[in-house]
Amino acid sequence: MREVKLRNKQEVMKFGESLAKEMCPGDVLALVGELGTGKTTLTKAIAKGLGITELITSPTFTIVKEYTSGRLPMFHFDVYRLESGAQLTAVGGEDYFHAGGVCIVEWADKVAEILPDDTKVIFLEYGKEEGERIYRCTF
């Protein structure tokens, strides 16, 4: 697995923006990491890279939010409150995986069983230093 060390928020922004440049319609990106490791921050960086101009806020209460002002539609999930993939399926969440945009799923480990096999996963972890993060990427 590829390991990337990001020393601060600026480096996270750069990483996310360049990742956005490579994203294709139908991509599912799963973000797995503890509270505070920067899942939403990384999502904001990707949104910026996609050219999305809307304000990105955490969809913890709405499960998913759609952003359409960029190069590709972005579907931003936060499944923290869900107990299984079945719950996401029940509300039609899976449909987004095939809707021609990019899906970003925070807390993806809660619904892992329904994620497509070719999902790209980033495991976000705290680094040793203040502000430092380690990303382990499956791609």
Partner 1 sequence: MYILGFETTGALGSAALYNLDTDEIRCLSVNQPMEHLKNIIGLAKRLLDDEKAGADELKAVAASVGPGSYTGIRIGVSSARAVAQGLNIPCISVPSLDIFKEKCKGDTGCAVIFNARRGQVYGAVFDETGRDVLKAGPYMLSDVVEAVSKSGKDIVFYGDGVSAYRNSEDYGYMLENKKLAAEKDLLPTAEMVVRYGAEAYRKGNTCSYTELEPSYMRETEAEQKLRDGTLDRLRKEKMAKFAGR
Toward partner 1, which CB reaches closer, 77 or 123? 123
Toward partner 1, which CB reaches closer, 47 or 121? 121
Min dist. Cβ of residue 139 to partner 1 (A): 8
Q: Would you call 12 helix, strand, or coil by DSSP?
A: helix
Min dist. Cβ of residue 71 to partner 1 (A): 26
- Residue 27 gets the label, from left (phi > 0), alpha (psi -120 to 50) or beta, of beta
Min dist. Cβ of residue 32 to partner 1 (A): 8
Toward partner 1, which CB reaches closer, 63 or 112? 112
Min dist. Cβ of residue 125 to partner 1 (A): 12
Cα–Cα dist 9/26, whole Å:
27
Toward partner 1, which CB reaches closer, 1 or 24? 1
Contacts 24+ apart (CB under 8 A), 59-67: 63/88, 63/91, 63/93, 64/93, 64/96, 66/101
Binding stretches for partner 1 (CB under 8 A): 1, 30, 32, 84-85, 109-113, 115, 119, 121, 123, 128-129, 136, 138-139
